[in-house]
């Protein structure tokens, strides 16, 4: 069976993404009643990390365990990924031993290279380009906290801050699903033309809306959700003074900015947060903040993604066939 990878939400239709989110919500409902079905009994997930993680690592490991499978944590330096062994060789070896491969990579090219050779599903756990597993969780969270009577397509999401890997995926999934997406940032930190072209094409197909602006007050005035993220990422440490000066204080999500939004507006952050930088403690810990609901939903989203990708590929031998092989092996051992 040709593997279906989870590299970018752009690879999936609106209907497929809605099915994935619906599955995530079904599994979460079962989980809340202590009834998570062990749909991936015996499955294994190779988890390769090129940088540290809290939410992503814990959510995938717990998800596999609760679905009946097993996750192997492969930290930097423990395998020969791209060093002493080609990406292609690593992909093919892991494909023979595991049912899926997860990768958190510093460069998106590494993700694409691994997926090109893997014969099992490859899951993107974040690159310098995007973070698709995060935004499945984000839309799930928005559906749980949307204003009463509002359809998904009516939701207005405003991202305040740098054009990060989370911004790209959130912009793509929002416009793919027909939502209204706004990015507020200084012009130097707005999305590149290639990202905008994809989002605009999504809107043309879905009926969604895209706004890019440096007017943060206008950007939040109708927002149902204000989302923010770190102002700098790995490899941008030398830019911190310039980035801080560009964003602070205008683009900080603080009480003054939140007051410009509707009273029902919720605050989101993918975490980890630089508290007091892109957002204040007063906002992150306020009743309008849903950042920990969002963090918890990483677990449920990973369960949904893993089940969506792996369940159709899982072997389902008959009881007779299992008994046949067990008998043969026991006969051999007892001879």
Q: Per-residue pLDDT tens for 271-315? A: 999 999 999 999 999 999 999 999 999 999 999 999 999 999 999
- Domain residues for the domain of 83 are 9-131+297-313
**103 or 51, which is more confident?**
103
124 with 158, same domain: the answer is no
Question: What whole-number distance in Å separates Cα of residue 69 and Cα of residue 239?
Answer: 42
265 noted as active-site residue? no
Q: Please report the pLDDT score of residue 80 as a whole number.
A: 73
298 noted as active-site residue? yes
Q: What average pLDDT is seen over the chain?
A: 96
43 with 148, same domain: the answer is no
The single residue of 5, 104, 183, 243 carrying the catalytic annotation is: 104
What pLDDT band is residue 3 in, cutting at 50, 70 and 90?
Answer: confident
294 noted as active-site residue? no
The single residue of 128, 183, 229, 300 carrying the catalytic annotation is: 229
59 with 79, same domain: the answer is yes
230 with 139, same domain: the answer is yes
Q: Please report the pLDDT score of residue 77 as a whole number.
A: 75
Question: What whole-number distance in Å separates Cα of residue 49 and Cα of residue 40?
Answer: 22
Question: What whole-number distance in Å separates Cα of residue 335 and Cα of residue 331?
Answer: 6
DSSP state of 75: -
In sequence order, the 6+-apart residues with CB closer than 8 A to the CB of 167 are 159, 161, 183, 191, 229
33 noted as active-site residue? no
77 with 159, same domain: the answer is no
110 with 151, same domain: the answer is no
123 with 25, same domain: the answer is yes
150 in any annotated domain: yes
- The answer, yes or no, to whether residue 1 has pLDDT greater than 70, is no
Per the rule left: phi > 0, alpha: psi between -120 and 50, beta: everything else, 86 is: beta
145 with 290, same domain: the answer is yes
Look at the block and give the residue holding tokens 């008998």.
327
The single residue of 57, 131, 156, 269 carrying the catalytic annotation is: 131
335 in any annotated domain: no
Closest CA to 225 of 135, 162, 302, 133: 135
213 with 289, same domain: the answer is yes
Cα 316 to its chain centre, rounded Å, is 29
322 in any annotated domain: no
Question: What whole-number distance in Å separates Cα of residue 31 and Cα of residue 300?
Answer: 8
Burial grade of 144 (CB within 10 A; 0-12, 13-18, 19 or more) = middle
Closest CA to 214 of 268, 161, 281: 161
276 with 141, same domain: the answer is yes
The reported pTM is: 0.96
The single residue of 57, 243, 269, 298 carrying the catalytic annotation is: 298
What are the E-state strand segments in the chain?
44-49, 70-74, 100-104, 122-124, 156-160, 180-184, 209-213, 225-228, 266-269
284 in any annotated domain: yes
170 with 216, same domain: the answer is yes
Mean pLDDT on 254-262: 98
Question: What whole-number distance in Å separates Cα of residue 76 and Cα of residue 73?
Answer: 10
In tens, the pLDDT along 156-176 reads: 999 999 999 999 999 999 999
326 in any annotated domain: no
Percentage of residues in the chain having pLDDT higher than 90: 93
> Quick one: CA torsion of 24, 27, 29, 33, rounded to 10 degrees?
-150
What pLDDT band is residue 79 in, cutting at 50, 70 and 90?
Answer: confident
178 with 148, same domain: the answer is yes
Number of domains in the chain: 2
324 in any annotated domain: no
184 in any annotated domain: yes
CATH of the domain at 34: 3.40.50.1370
Question: What whole-number distance in Å separates Cα of residue 333 and Cα of residue 37?
Answer: 33
- The answer, yes or no, to whether residue 70 has pLDDT greater than 80, is yes
69 in any annotated domain: yes
Q: Please report the pLDDT score of residue 233 as a whole number.
A: 84
The single residue of 98, 134, 138, 243 carrying the catalytic annotation is: 134
In tens, the pLDDT along 83-123 reads: 788 999 999 999 999 999 999 999 999 999 999 999 999 99
């Amino acid at each position: 069976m040709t593997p279906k990878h989870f590299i970018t939400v752009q690879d999936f239709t609106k209907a497929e993404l809605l099915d994935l989110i619906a599955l995530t919500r079904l599994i979460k409902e079962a989980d809340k009643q202590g009834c998570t079905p062990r749909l991936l009994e015996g499955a294994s997930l190779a988890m390769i990390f090129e940088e540290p993680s809290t939410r992503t690592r814990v959510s995938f490991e717990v998800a596999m365990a609760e679905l009946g499978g097993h996750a192997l944590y492969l930290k930097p330096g423990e395998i020969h990924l791209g060093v002493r062994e080609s990406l292609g060789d690593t992909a093919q070896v892991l494909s023979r031993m595991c049912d899926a491969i997860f990768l958190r990579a510093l460069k998106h090219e590494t993700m694409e290279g691994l997926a090109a050779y893997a014969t099992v599903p490859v899951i993107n756990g974040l690159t310098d380009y995007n973070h698709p597993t995060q935004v499945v969780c984000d839309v799930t969270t928005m559906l749980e906290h949307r204003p009463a009577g509002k359809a998904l397509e009516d939701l207005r999401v405003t991202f305040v801050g740098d054009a990060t890997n989370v911004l790209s995926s959130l912009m793509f999934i929002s416009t793919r699903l027909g939502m209204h997406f706004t990015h507020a940032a200084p012009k130097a930190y707005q999305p590149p033309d290639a990202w905008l072209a994809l989002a605009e094409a999504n809107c043309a197909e879905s009926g969604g809306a895209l706004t890019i602006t440096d007017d943060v007050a206008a950007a939040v005035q109708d927002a149902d959700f204000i989302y923010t993220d770190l102002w700098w990422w790995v490899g941008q440490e030398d830019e911190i003074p310039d980035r801080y000066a560009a964003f602070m204080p205008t683009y900080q999500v603080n009480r003054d900015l939140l007051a410009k939004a509707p009273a029902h507006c919720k605050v989101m952050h993918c975490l980890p947060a630089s508290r007091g930088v892109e957002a204040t403690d007063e906002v992150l810990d306020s009743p309008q903040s849903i950042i920990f609901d969002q963090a918890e939903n990483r677990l449920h989203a990973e369960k949904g993604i893993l089940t969506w990708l792996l369940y159709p590929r899982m072997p389902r031998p008959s009881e007779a066939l299992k008994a046949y092989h067990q008998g043969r092996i026991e006969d051999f051992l007892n001879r």
